[in-house]
Amino acid sequence: MAQLANAARDTWSSKWAFILAAAASAVGLGNLWRFPYLAAKYGGGMFLLTYLVLVFTFGLSLLLVEIALGRKTRQSTIGAFKMFGKKYAFIGILASLVPFIITPYYCVIGGWVAKFASAYFFDAPAVIGDGGDYFTGFITSNFESYVFLFIFMFIVFFVVSRGVKGGIEKANLVMMPALIIMTIVLVIYTLCQPGALDGAAYYLIPDFSAFSPELVVAALGQMFFSLSIAMGIMVTYGSYMKQRDALTSSAIRVAGFDVGVSFLAGLMIVPAAFVALGTPDAVTENSGPGLMFVVLPQMFATFGDFAPIIGVCFFLLVVFAALTSAISLTETCVSIMHDGAKCSRKKAMVLTFAIIAVAAVFVNLGYNGLSFIEPLGEGSSLLDFFDFVSNTVMMPIVAFLTCIFVGWCIKPKIIEDEIMVSAPFRWRAAWRIMIKYIAPILIAIVFISFIAQFLGFMTI
Q: Is 6 a member of any domain?
A: no
CB 37 within 8 A of CB 287: yes
Phi-psi region of 2 (alpha: psi -120 to 50; beta: other; left: phi over 0): beta
Domain span holding position 147: 15-455
Helices (H) and strands (E) in the chain, counts: 26, 0
Q: Is 2 a member of any domain?
A: no
Q: How many CB atoms lie within 10 A of CB 427?
A: 13
Domain of residue 226, CATH code: 1.10.4160
3-state secondary structure (DSSP) of residue 206 = strand
pLDDT the model gives residue 8: 64
CB 71 within 8 A of CB 229: no
b/e for 58-75, b at 16 or more Cβ within 10 A? bbbbbbbbbbbbbbbbbb
Q: Is 431 a member of any domain?
A: yes
Claim: this prediction has a pTM higher than 0.75? yes
> How many Å apart are CA 30 and CA 418, to the nearest integer?
31
Selection from 441, 122, 177, 179 nearest residue 322 by Cα: 179
> How many Å apart are CA 7 and CA 453, to the nearest integer?
46
pLDDT the model gives residue 146: 98
b/e for 156-171, b at 16 or more Cβ within 10 A? bbebbbeebeebbbeb
Q: Is 89 a member of any domain?
A: yes
Q: Is 385 a member of any domain?
A: yes
Q: Is 209 a member of any domain?
A: yes
E strand or H helix that includes residue 427: none
Q: Is 65 a member of any domain?
A: yes
Can you give the pLDDT of all 460 residues of the chain as single tens digits? 444 445 467 899 999 999 999 999 999 998 998 999 999 888 888 999 999 999 999 999 999 999 999 999 999 999 999 999 999 999 999 999 999 999 999 999 999 999 999 999 989 999 999 989 999 999 999 999 999 999 999 999 999 999 999 999 999 999 999 999 999 999 999 999 999 999 999 899 888 888 888 899 889 889 887 898 999 999 999 999 999 999 999 999 999 999 999 999 999 999 988 888 777 887 877 778 888 999 899 989 888 888 899 999 999 999 999 999 999 999 999 999 999 888 999 999 999 999 999 999 999 999 999 999 999 988 899 999 999 999 989 999 999 999 999 999 999 999 999 999 989 999 999 999 999 999 999 999 989 988 888 777 544 4
Q: Is 3 a member of any domain?
A: no
| Number of domains the chain contains | 1
